Structure 1
Amino acid sequence: MTASDTSPHCDVLIVGGGINGAGIARDLAGRGWRVVLAEQDDLASHTSSSSTKLIHGGLRYLEYHEFSLVRKALQEREVLLKSAPHIMWPLRFVMPHDPSMRPAWLIRLGLFLYDHLARREVLPGSRGVDLRTHPTGAPLKAGYTRGFVYSDGWVDDARLVVLNALDAQTQGARILTRTRCTAAVRSAEGWHATLQGSDGRVHTVRARALVNAAGPWAESFLRQQAQSARGEALATRSLRLVKGSHIVVPRCFEHDHAYIFQNPDKRIIFAIPYEGEFTLIGTTDQELHGDPRGARIDADEIAYLCEQASRYFTRPVTPADVVWSYSGVRPLLDDASGDPSAVTRDYLLESNTDAAPLLSVWGGKITTFRKLAEDAATEVGRMLGDTRQPWTEGRTLPGGDFSDWIGPARRPDTDFERLVLQVQQRHPWLPAPLARRLARAYGSRIAELLHGVRDLAGLGAEIAPGLHEAELHYLQATEWATCADDVLWRRSKLGLHYTPAQRQQVHDWMAATLPTTDPTTMKASPCN
């Protein structure tokens, strides 16, 4: 692409490769639009890999009377669970009752609404439990004798973004990672954008419309990079950046349920089974001022999460137990609320047709990303004068169709177990833990990874425990992985299981085998 080109290179340029940008790219491309997506870092390298990793309606939002948001999210739960059962699955939550927090009747009413605001086919409803006899009561302090159990879902958030990007690419979109949009100038004819890869190469894109899906950078993008033909900034709204931090500690309990704990400050935290050997605890709500790239958990947040979890668990959780932590920045619309927890998690799509179409995405949560993308694609089509039909509801994401392995789908959770069984039967040489991990990561696309491989040696050298060269080559070639962090913390969570020396081995291998940069795809740009 050169600056001398005069015809549009694409219909829509999307800035931002988080869940919203990737979801919108997938939907637009599937409707036949020519799409280019530019992400300044790796896919899902910020907010979209730093969530609590739940597909949920948001039980606590009922207290803020966010009934529309909760209903929309509840409607999406099972749509998503069916679309990619290898990276999303049902999860039961236990809420121990603390009479000093909320009365039992209020919790029962909230759970009744939660059960009935949207239709359920897969997820069971809520019920009360006696924690003195129920297995989930064993790790809790003796004072918690009564509890409530309800359903939501779990998601590997970073892989969800990658799967959307893969599907978008299959539909014809061009996905440019580690490519920053340094300028986007608007005219009546379209957008003229300058893109710069991490290797310093610069090229331009002409687009008929622009979608600002930059997440925490959505406001600053409109103030600094996007301009009218007269050089005027295009920002009209302000974002409120709220940091949510999480800690990971050695496993606090043996069963497969998660906990939702009520805190004296009226907030809640979750304690969730994580990666087999660990418990994930979060999240906080803290105002962030400054660059979202600098978001890190602080000592006060660690102390808060440990203190609140220790109010419930018999065995205290201490800062010394923390083996990993992460912080995400939620880009929420500034409503001047004094309480960050009370700021709406719903999204707003803002259209501007003063010249070439501009759509800005404000807010949102991972559970409603598909609906957001559908609404955004419809609105872009309207602005371009050619509304095209939605298509993603009921469609699987890459790897989510197991039919070639197990036949017709039944239930997302049991279908995955059937897939694992078939993988083990077709590839008996695969160690059982590796077969399960690969099935979790790639679903039915495991066939591509294992194509032509007849024994463990065929996967190549084992660079770190359970991680072979064949998988690393696959991630480089198909999933935009260019460095160890991409592999260890976003395409997987293997980094949590490895020693520093083992992580370094992956880093060294990736650095040594990085392919020559392709200026067309920018896939092989090194990590920032």
Structure 2
Amino acid sequence: MVSSETGIYDLFVVGGGVNGAGIARDAAGRGLSVLLCEKDDLAQGTSSRSGKLVHGGLRYLEYYEFRLVREALIEREVLLESAPHIIWPMRFVLPHNPQDRPAWLVRLGLFLYDHLGGRKRLPGTRSLNLATAPEGAPIKRDYRKAFEYSDCWVDDARLVVLNALDATARGARVLTRTACSAIRRRDGLWFIEMTDTRTGAKTEARARCVVNTAGPWVNDVIGRIGGLNSTRSVRLVKGSHIVVPKFWEGRQAYLVQNPDKRVIFINPYQNDLALIGTTDIPYEGRPEDVTADGNEIAYLLKSVNRYFKQQLTSDDIVYSFSGVRPLYDDNAENPSAVTRDYIFEVDATDNQAPLLSVFGGKITTFRKLSEHALERLKPFFPKMGPAWTAKAHLPGGDMAAADFDLFLGELKARYRWLPSDLVKHYARLYGTRTHALLAGATSLDDLGPAFGSLFREREARFLIENEWALTADDILDRRTKHGLHMTPAERQAFTHWLDRQQAAA
């Protein structure tokens, strides 16, 4: 039996990554009715497997991507203001290797980086003497000079969830574990069949416009529509990362150069860990099957060991992950040179219901991409409201002066019974939504039993009830990073608890 969604939506969005969630949020805030479906969990694909950076893309300057870099640098500060709990400044130390890029070229790139985007909040570039600067302590003595510049860190999966939350608060409907199984045009509308991937139940919906933000599957969605072909395509490029124990003092990150002209980030991660990546490998398999292979891991280890005194081996790896970046195929021979910009394709042949497909993009520019997407659709929805997201906070980000440290101090004063590391964990993940998480609690006992050092039952229930979390992976790997700090036995115990809750529901 097939059930039906009542009414006709303005937009049907396929894909719950950062672009889909961002467009759904923007559209709902402009007064459009929106239904978003995602076949897996929010951010389960590319959007949770990034390098966790909001950055201008320093290396893109070498490929003359000035428009993209400028847009990304401007967006960097917009996003920092909108969600200071999940986005924060980070300083990057770039040891200079004269065998790679010459110093004058690095200085020129950093000068442009400092000035292209109208930098306001972040400090500018400076030179370092690695022999005397504390940032040089872990670096081999072969490297005497470095440059330090600013970018930002982001919790990528939470960025997606917060956009989806804001979309629903503004009237959108978000369905996870729901595949777009069939799609066709008829009588000026889209007729969509959705399949619940857990139960197989089918639902039909109608919409005036379809927005295809399926990422690596964007061409698959187009292919399901009879008689429709795209002149554009995505090029799948695999990027892998490894996580190791942090092996230096300080909060700074490092960016190192390779003889092949790629750069590798070595970033502080989860307080006591380091995130190292990424690779750029052409990929032709199923996006669902992507994993970090031995050659990539060896490449990353060699890149780090070239610069650092402490030599890493595969035994140091705590965790590895890989994602498929669906880049717009501009026919570049080198995967690293493939543009990170985005392209739209609008099909509205003979004034039929429009289909907007998104090719490419990056996390940093998702908000601007969403604005541009809605601009492309304005001829079809002339009464939609104006752009609004540039000055709006994401859920939990509405803290005074966008000052996280001030907000953290206020939380500690209000919840004196909470251990300092736990209140910081809540502040970082939930921002001002921490008050809803802790409503009515006056002691640790009120938060329920602990599954891990900072993971308690109340947080799990909050995520299940408010953030579409259904599985242990949803909670431990995407909504939080508790899984990195839990033993296999703790993870199994939590999985069993979750199974019992769902059986009783």
Shared fold, TM over 0.5: yes
Paired letter, 1:210: V
Q: CA contact under 8 A between 1:310 and 1:317: conserved in structure 2?
A: yes
- Cα distance in structure 2, aligned partners of 1:323 and 1:462: 23
Q: CA contact under 8 A between 1:357 and 1:384: conserved in structure 2?
A: no
Paired letter, 2:235: R
- Cα distance in structure 1, aligned partners of 2:158 and 2:463: 12
- Cα distance in structure 1, aligned partners of 2:503 and 2:252: 43
- Cα distance in structure 2, aligned partners of 1:500 and 1:234: 47
Q: 1:385: how far off?
A: 3.7
Residue 454, structure 1, aligned to residue 445, structure 2:
no
Counterpart for residue 357 of structure 1: 354
Q: 1:2: how far off?
A: 5.8
- Cα distance in structure 2, aligned partners of 1:516 and 1:344: 49
Q: 1:387: how far off?
A: 4.4
- Cα distance in structure 2, aligned partners of 1:327 and 1:96: 26
Counterpart for residue 311 of structure 1: 306
Q: How does 1:470-509 map to 2 (within 5 A)?
A: 470-509=458-497
Q: How does 1:189-200 map to 2 (within 5 A)?
A: 189-198=188-197, 199-200=199-200
**Which of the residues 386, 392, 404 maps onto 1:395?**
392
Counterpart for residue 57 of structure 2: 58
Paired letter, 2:405: E
Paired letter, 1:277: D
Q: Deviations over 1:453-472 (max 9, x none)?
A: 11111111223322111111
Paired letter, 1:237: R
Counterpart for residue 366 of structure 2: 369
Counterpart for residue 444 of structure 1: 432
Counterpart for residue 319 of structure 2: 324
Q: Deviations over 1:281-326 (max 9, x none)?
A: 0000001112100000000000000001100010112111111011
- Cα distance in structure 2, aligned partners of 1:182 and 1:254: 51
- Cα distance in structure 2, aligned partners of 1:120 and 1:291: 40
**Which of the residues 426, 432, 438 maps onto 2:414?**
426
Q: 1:233: how far off?
A: 3.7
Paired letter, 2:410: Q
- Cα distance in structure 1, aligned partners of 2:3 and 2:472: 34
Q: 1:515: how far off?
A: 7.3
Residue 302, structure 1, aligned to residue 297, structure 2:
yes
Secondary structure, aligned partner of 2:391: coil
Q: Deviations over 1:331-363 (max 9, x none)?
A: 012222210000000011111111211100100
Counterpart for residue 156 of structure 2: 157
Q: CA contact under 8 A between 1:210 and 1:357: conserved in structure 2?
A: yes
Q: CA contact under 8 A between 2:292 and 2:321: conserved in structure 1?
A: yes
- Cα distance in structure 2, aligned partners of 1:516 and 1:205: 30
- Cα distance in structure 2, aligned partners of 1:27 and 1:300: 41
Counterpart for residue 117 of structure 1: 116
The TM-score with structure 1 as length reference comes to 0.93
In structure 2, the CA distance between the partners of 1:215 and 1:515, relative to structure 1 (3 Å rule), is farther
- Cα distance in structure 1, aligned partners of 2:187 and 2:374: 21
Secondary structure, aligned partner of 1:150: strand
Q: 1:237: how far off?
A: 1.8
Q: 1:379: how far off?
A: 1.9
- Cα distance in structure 1, aligned partners of 2:9 and 2:2: 14
Q: Deviations over 1:100-121 (max 9, x none)?
A: 1011111111111000001122
- Which segment drifts farther, 378-387 or 65-74? 378-387
Q: Deviations over 1:14-63 (max 9, x none)?
A: 00000000000000000010000000000000100000011100000000
Q: CA contact under 8 A between 1:239 and 1:332: conserved in structure 2?
A: yes
Counterpart for residue 378 of structure 1: 375
> What is the RMSD computed on CA atoms of the aligned residues?
1.4
Q: 1:380: how far off?
A: 2.1
Secondary structure, aligned partner of 1:244: strand
Counterpart for residue 254 of structure 2: 259
Q: Deviations over 1:178-223 (max 9, x none)?
A: 1000011113421000001122111001001000000010011111
Paired letter, 1:346: D
Q: How does 1:6-155 map to 2 (within 5 A)?
A: 8-155=7-154
Q: 1:91: how far off?
A: 0.5
Q: 1:252: how far off?
A: 1.8
In structure 2, the CA distance between the partners of 1:430 and 1:4, relative to structure 1 (3 Å rule), is closer
Q: CA contact under 8 A between 1:53 and 1:155: conserved in structure 2?
A: yes
Secondary structure, aligned partner of 2:344: strand
- Cα distance in structure 2, aligned partners of 1:515 and 1:434: 30
Q: 1:88: how far off?
A: 0.2
Paired letter, 1:335: D
Q: CA contact under 8 A between 2:3 and 2:202: conserved in structure 1?
A: no
Q: How does 1:220-259 map to 2 (within 5 A)?
A: 220-223=220-223, 225=224, 227=225, 231-259=226-254
Paired letter, 1:502: E
Q: 1:516: how far off?
A: 7.9
- Cα distance in structure 2, aligned partners of 1:79 and 1:50: 22
Paired letter, 1:392: T
Counterpart for residue 211 of structure 1: 211
Secondary structure, aligned partner of 2:373: helix
Secondary structure, aligned partner of 2:461: helix
Secondary structure, aligned partner of 1:272: strand
Identity %: 53
- Cα distance in structure 2, aligned partners of 1:97 and 1:374: 38
Q: 1:92: how far off?
A: 0.5
- Cα distance in structure 1, aligned partners of 2:504 and 2:180: 22
- Cα distance in structure 2, aligned partners of 1:83 and 1:505: 36
- Cα distance in structure 2, aligned partners of 1:431 and 1:514: 30
Q: 1:509: how far off?
A: 1.4
Residue 276, structure 1, aligned to residue 271, structure 2:
yes
Q: 1:382: how far off?
A: 2.3
Q: CA contact under 8 A between 1:441 and 1:492: conserved in structure 2?
A: yes
Q: 1:8: how far off?
A: 4.4
In structure 2, the CA distance between the partners of 1:291 and 1:50, relative to structure 1 (3 Å rule), is same
Paired letter, 2:466: T
- Which segment drifts farther, 382-391 or 101-110? 382-391
The count of corresponding residues between Structure 1 and Structure 2 is: 502
Paired letter, 1:352: D
Q: Where does the alignment leave 5 or more consecutive residues of structure 2 unmatched?
A: none
Secondary structure, aligned partner of 1:248: strand
- Cα distance in structure 1, aligned partners of 2:459 and 2:219: 38
Q: Where does the alignment leave 5 or more consecutive residues of structure 1 unmatched?
A: 403-407, 518-528
Q: CA contact under 8 A between 1:162 and 1:479: conserved in structure 2?
A: yes
Paired letter, 1:214: A
Q: CA contact under 8 A between 1:463 and 1:509: conserved in structure 2?
A: no
